[in-house]
Amino acid sequence: MDDSLSPEAVSPLLHGRFGRERYVYAEVTASTQRLLGPGDPQGAVAATEEQTEGRGRLGREWHAPRGSSVLCSVLLRPTLPVERWPELSLVAGGAVADAVRAAGVEPTLKHPNDVLVGGRKLAGILAEARDGIVVLGIGVNVKQSATELPEGATSLRLEGAHVVRPQLLAEILDRLESAYAGWIRGA
């Protein structure tokens, strides 16, 4: 199976709306956050093999070797009051944790935006609100070796899980769509 995050690899695996109407793919980009904007529909997805200026919370950098991670952003148009929008980091973190759990690894959430395994960072979420939208940046370490990760981080490979990246991305998008719908309904 193709392990790229190209539309040809990901689209056949999608079950919901997220990523179907608009899926932007760039082999290399500064940041997937910058590939989506106010003209895009809810559920638009941007994905890449490598980010040159990936970032996390508090301006921290997020580096990953090419083809080693799931790196994507998802555009949302929340109808709830803006004061509730920060909750989306937790909604997305829960969706990512559920997808990781389905891959056979037991994660925990660290408020407000990290997914951990054994106390080590596996994934991060970055929610940015602008122009009436929220763009959720998601980065999951999938194939890195210990030497490719900073201290205090892990990957699914290091945790013993063999994961095909397009399948993991599709699983994250399905679970995020469901969790987001529940959040909107107030569940």
What is the average per-residue pLDDT within 106-127? 94
- Compute the average pLDDT of residues 60-75: 86
Query: Is 44 a domain residue?
Result: yes
* Rg from Cα positions in the chain: 15
Q: Does residue 87 fall inside a structural domain?
A: no
pLDDT at 173: 98
**In-domain check, residue 100:** no
Query: Domain for residue 52, yes or no?
Result: yes
141-151, pLDDT tens digit by residue? 999 999 999 99
Both structure tokens of 123? 């994934």
| Residue 102: predicted pLDDT | 95
Nearest by Cα to 68 from 5, 18, 23 = 5
Per-residue pLDDT at 77 exceeds 90: yes
The CATH number given to whatever domain includes residue 52 is: 3.30.930.10
Is 86 inside a domain boundary? Answer: no
Mean pLDDT of all residues in the chain? 93
Beta-carbon contacts of 100 under 8 Å, excluding residues fewer than 6 positions away, are 107, 115, 117, 122, 123, 140, 156
In a domain, 94, yes or no: no
Contact 17, 23 (CB under 8 A): no
The verdict on residue 99 lying in a domain is no
Residue type at position 172: I
Residue 34: other Cβ atoms inside 10 A: 16
Model pLDDT for residues 118-157, shown as the tens digit of each residue: 999 999 999 999 999 999 999 999 999 999 999 999 999 9
Q: Are 177 and 98 in contact (CB under 8 A)?
A: no
Q: For the stretch 124-135, what's the b/e string if a residue is b when 16 or more beta carbons lie within 10 angstroms of its beta carbon?
A: bbbbeeeeebbb
Q: Classify residue 145: in a domain, yes or no.
A: yes
Residue with tokens 């122009």: 131
Between 122 and 112, name the one with better pLDDT: 122
What tens digit of pLDDT does each residue of 12-31 get? Answer: 999 999 999 999 999 999 99
Q: Which two tokens stand for residue 9?
A: 């690899």
Encode 102-123 in three state secondary structure. HCCCCCEEECCCEEEECCEEEE
- Of the candidates 124, 17, 151, 138, which has an alpha carbon nearest to the alpha carbon of residue 74? 138
Closest CA to 107 of 138, 65, 140: 140
pLDDT(181) > 90? yes
Domain count, the chain: 1
Q: Is the pLDDT of residue 187 over 60?
A: no
pTM for this one? 0.94
pLDDT tens-digit readout, 31-67? 999 999 999 999 999 999 999 886 655 456 666 789 9
Which residue range(s) make up the domain with 59? Answer: 7-80+107-185
